[in-house]
């Protein structure tokens, strides 16, 4: 699978799963645009990892929940790379609380970033893809969007909504040679899980059929598969990268 000459935009690409996706796509030959919300240093570190593969790299700060930010970001990308061939809607936040303790702003902010941000990305980037009659859109959902999780009603709602949008937009864009798919990670070793004790992580791993926590690279490989031109007949799919949790 070769992405030479293609340009990929990865939202939330500065660290964790987003960083692994950026590096994977760069290794496959793509120009990579790394979107970040606030951690410029982390984004620059990701950029250096991508530059090692000798292709174009751009870092852009933008709030994905704001349409004006998207429009500014896309204008800059077109000035550098002409178009966008691959969109990975990875940006996401959590504000976990049990429902009775969850404030309205906790719910709204997660929905705005995770769900609305993904919608805006698909809406605006697909306009560019339609002109080329080619595109690959990959949305980051979660096993929580399929199974739910106590204390994450806002996050679960956003990730379940992404699945619904993925399937709907896949039907709208299929005739234009644009695929839309989702990846649903399970327990993945990131900054969030790093804060857990070794005992807790071991107990969680034992509940996974694969008996291990996944890595950001595990997720990146799944994204790369959907991003490939060879995956043109795969659309509207949800791929669980979870070591068997959803089985």
Mean pLDDT, rounded, of the chain: 94
- pLDDT tier, 204 (very low <50, low <70, confident <90, very high otherwise): confident
Q: Domains in the chain, start-ordered, CATH in brackets?
A: 7-241 (3.40.50.720)
DSSP secondary structure letters along 15-56 = SHHHHHHHHHHHHTT-EEEEEESS-HHHHHHHHHHHHTTTS-
CA distances from 26 to 73, 107, 135, 233, 239 (A): 20, 35, 17, 23, 22
Q: In the numeric block, which tokens belong to residue 160?
A: 């379940």
- pLDDT tier, 196 (very low <50, low <70, confident <90, very high otherwise): low
Of 36, 134, 155, 221, catalytic: 155
CA distances from 109 to 69, 112, 145, 161, 181 (A): 16, 5, 17, 15, 24
Examine the pLDDT at 24 and tell me if it is beyond 90: yes
Residues 52, 58, 60, 66: what is their CA dihedral angle, to the nearest 10 degrees?
-120
Whole-angstrom distance, CA of residue 49 vs CA of residue 47: 5
Task: Give the global pTM.
Answer: 0.94
Residue 167's pLDDT is 98
pLDDT in tens, 105-121: 999 999 999 999 999 99
pLDDT in tens, 175-185: 999 999 999 99
pLDDT in tens, 56-87: 999 999 999 999 999 999 999 999 998 999 99
Residue 155 catalytic? Answer: yes
């Amino acid at each position: 699978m070769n992405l030479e000459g293609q340009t990929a935009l990865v939202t939330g690409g500065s660290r964790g799963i987003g960083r692994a996706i950026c590096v994977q796509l760069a290794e496959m030959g793509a120009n990579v645009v790394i979107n970040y919300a606030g951690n410029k240093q982390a984004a620059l570190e990701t950029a250096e990892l991508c530059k090692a593969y000798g292709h174009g790299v751009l870092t852009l700060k933008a709030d994905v929940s704001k349409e004006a930010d998207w429009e500014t970001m896309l204008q800059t990308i077109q000035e550098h790379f002409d178009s966008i061939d691959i969109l990975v809607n990875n940006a996401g936040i959590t504000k976990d609380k049990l429902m009775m303790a969850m404030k309205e702003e906790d719910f709204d902010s997660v929905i705005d970033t995770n769900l609305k941000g993904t919608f805006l990305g698909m809406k605006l980037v697909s306009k560019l893809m339609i002109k080329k009659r080619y595109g690959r859109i990959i949305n980051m959902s979660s096993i929580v969007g399929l199974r739910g999780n106590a204390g994450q009603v806002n996050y679960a709602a956003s990730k379940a909504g992404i699945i619904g949008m993925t399937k709907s937009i896949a039907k709208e864009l299929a005739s234009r040679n644009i695929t839309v798919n989702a990846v649903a990670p399970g327990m993945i070793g990131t900054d969030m899980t790093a804060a857990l004790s070794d005992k807790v992580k071991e107990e969680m791993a034992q509940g996974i059929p694969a008996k291990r926590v996944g890595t950001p690279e595990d997720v990146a490989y799944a994204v790369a598969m959907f991003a490939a031109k060879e995956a043109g007949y795969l659309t509207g799919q949800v791929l669980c990268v979870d070591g068997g949790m959803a089985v």
